[in-house]
Structure 1
């Protein structure tokens, strides 16, 4: 399984989920989001980042909300 991120203008990143594990808030906040945010900052360091996410539990978990805050 992979998580792929795109912006309205370009491809951002594809991040593999090794060993077919379940997507958890821990993986999402320690592996996924840091890479995505780093790539977005390379493109435009001053622009505000807006993420459009689904309601999967890894994205709505308290740990994820705290990380994004």
Structure 2
């Protein structure tokens, strides 16, 4: 997935042991979080105990999407 090519997402790209992309998107009517190539529901993502910077990036993306609604 390339976040630059999808319009209904919010994403953050940063360097952390390589190129990292975190984004939130509406998938099947539900907000989901994608970290590189792994897709999570919000419940799954927060249940995985992500690292602080990845969690903050995901929260920022979800908040941005919520504002667009």
Q: State TM-score, norm by structure 2.
A: 0.28
Q: State TM-score, norm by structure 1.
A: 0.28
Return the index of the structure with the highest Cα Rg.
Answer: 1
